Amino acid sequence: MKNLLIATAIMFTSLFFLSQTGCKKTDDAIEEVIDCTVDSWFLKINADVDATNSKLFHFTFVNDDSSGKYALDNEINWDFGDGSTETSQGLTINHTYANTGSYTVKGTYTLHKGSSSCSNLKEKAINVN
């Protein structure tokens, strides 16, 4: 019982000192660290079917970061899931599918936060009628 009390006292004392001295970010480089797995949750691919051609899709890579901390490169490497790939020099691209079916569209991107960057991909499942 005495060991439990001592351990509890040490834990609370440690927490008190950590909260006072803190784990504060004082280096700007630390604030620029980017983790694509975590920080890219606000990125997505929108897929809109053309009004006159059901096999034509308009894809847009969207950055929903409202803080303005993250910048997305305009160059996106697209894999349309039907064997076709293309690199866009902007966040939008059009693609016409030859056949109906289900496809997984992938967009490989580069995300920047300050001087740090990472590359990853987003996927979007679509159905072509």
What pLDDT is attached to residue 66?
Answer: 87
Residue 65 Cα distances to 11, 40, 43, 117, angstroms:
38, 9, 8, 15
What pLDDT is attached to residue 1?
Answer: 56
- Binning pLDDT at 50, 70 and 90, where does residue 12 land? very low
The pTM of the full predicted model, rounded to 2 decimals, is 0.72
Q: Which domains does the chain have, with CATH numbers?
A: 27-128 (2.60.40.10)
**If you search the block for the tokens 């920047």, which residue do you land on?**
112
What pLDDT is attached to residue 29?
Answer: 47
DSSP 34-49: --HHHHGGGEEEEEEE
pLDDT digits (tens, 9 = 90+) for 60-115: 999 998 888 889 999 999 999 999 999 999 999 999 999 999 999 999 999 998 88
